[in-house]
Amino acid sequence: MDFSVPEELRAFQQMVRRFVDKELIPLENTEPRGLLPATRERLRALTRDMGLWLLDVPESLGGQGLSMLGQSIFWEEFSRSVATLPRDFYIIGPVVGAVLVQLKGEQKERYLDPVLRGEKFPCFAQTEPDAGTDPAAMRTRAVRDGDHYVINGVKRFITDAEKADFAQVMAITDPVKGARGGVSCILVDMDTPGVKVTTQYKTMMGESPCEVVFQDARVPVKNLIGKEGDGFRLAQEWITRGRILRHGARSCGVAERCLEMGASYAKQRVTFGAPLADRQSIQWMLADTYTELQAARHLVRHAAWKIDQGEDVRTESHIAKMYSVEMGFRAADRCLQIHGGIGLTTDFQVEKFWRDQRPYLITEGAAEVMRMTVARHVLKHY
């Protein structure tokens, strides 16, 4: 088994690292929490020129068609900076994901193509007040009425809903089947009567996800993606890839940068007549973080590689997400501890990594739920 990164991806990795070091990390002090519009546009133009645009979009649609292994390497390098908010990655193109790329015919013309051209902005609406990590508890209903679905329900913590032109809404179309064939995915224009963004939640990461209410919203049946009952499968494909990339690979990037900052500060900071780097307690923090990073990196890249081989990676994605996000938070926490009081100040990046990493233990599958699913696999397998 070859664990090495292919040569072409090593060159790609070096290019992304140079981009992050040169373009993003310097912005952490000048634009500490979110990019200014002019900066965002400059970086978008730069990523287009560099070939870092639409990485996950197939070449047939004008994207790079980068493999999952390649994407995992990108997300690790990209996440070494806190210049952008955790889920603000639009400097590399619109978010298409595993759902929109499947659109055909009129749906492709009305929704996917305008997104790729930058004319429309999507959001993904699955989470509900009583159905976060447990999508089987979903209550939003889409009832067939002639040529329309009538949608009622509430979605919560929906990223970018306030500026989206349309939402990919997961709703129950068959309450008897529930999550086993009763969930469907429907494209809903945000200006549809009965659709309203009611709340924006201010979070510790600086992001403001929304609550969206659907009250007798009538949506054409032709907006159904695939067949009735395909929604849960589509959502799981979206989330599985996100657990590997935006959680697993991202956490490796966080740990890598925290190691850089922690080791550098430990060499500079002198206490009681000696550098912190001479203290065994500090050395062990760095050694543990480095070891855990290597383990997480292998878990993430193995899961990404298996997707590229067309294999089922649900269990691998749960393991990679569970271990990596906890590892990333430990890395940020140790880095903050090494920095001491100065690490608590907003003048340094350490506290931003700490705040930004903590929510990933909850989002897209809490760590405890990941352990439950892995445990089911273990008990079935052995």
Active site residues: 364
The CA-based dihedral angle spanning residues 344, 349, 355, 361, taken in that order and rounded to the nearest 10 degrees: -130
CB-based contacts of 323: which residues, under 8 Å, 6+ apart? 295, 296, 299
* Helix (H/G/I), strand (E/B), else coil: 346: coil
**In terms of Cα–Cα distance, which of 345, 332, 356 is closest to 246?**
356
Rounded Cα–Cα distance for residues 85 and 357 (Å): 11
Q: Per DSSP, which regions of the chain are E strands?
A: 122-125, 141-145, 148-158, 166-172, 183-189, 195-200, 210-220, 270-271, 274-275
CB-based contacts of 293: which residues, under 8 Å, 6+ apart? 252, 255, 256, 259, 327, 331
Q: What share of the chain is helix, strand, coil (3-state, %, to 5)?
A: 55, 15, 30
Rounded Cα–Cα distance for residues 210 and 84 (Å): 19
Q: In which residue are the tokens 């659709």 written?
A: 195
Burial 217-247, CB ≥16 within 10 A → b, else e: bebeeebbbeebbbbbebbbebbbbbbbbbb
Burial 260-274, CB ≥16 within 10 A → b, else e: ebbbebbeeeeeeee
Q: Per DSSP, which regions of 201-312 are E strands?
A: 210-220, 270-271, 274-275
**In terms of Cα–Cα distance, which of 74, 26, 82 is closest to 54?**
74
Cα distances (Å, whole numbers) of residue 303 to 138, 242, 315, 348: 28, 12, 9, 33
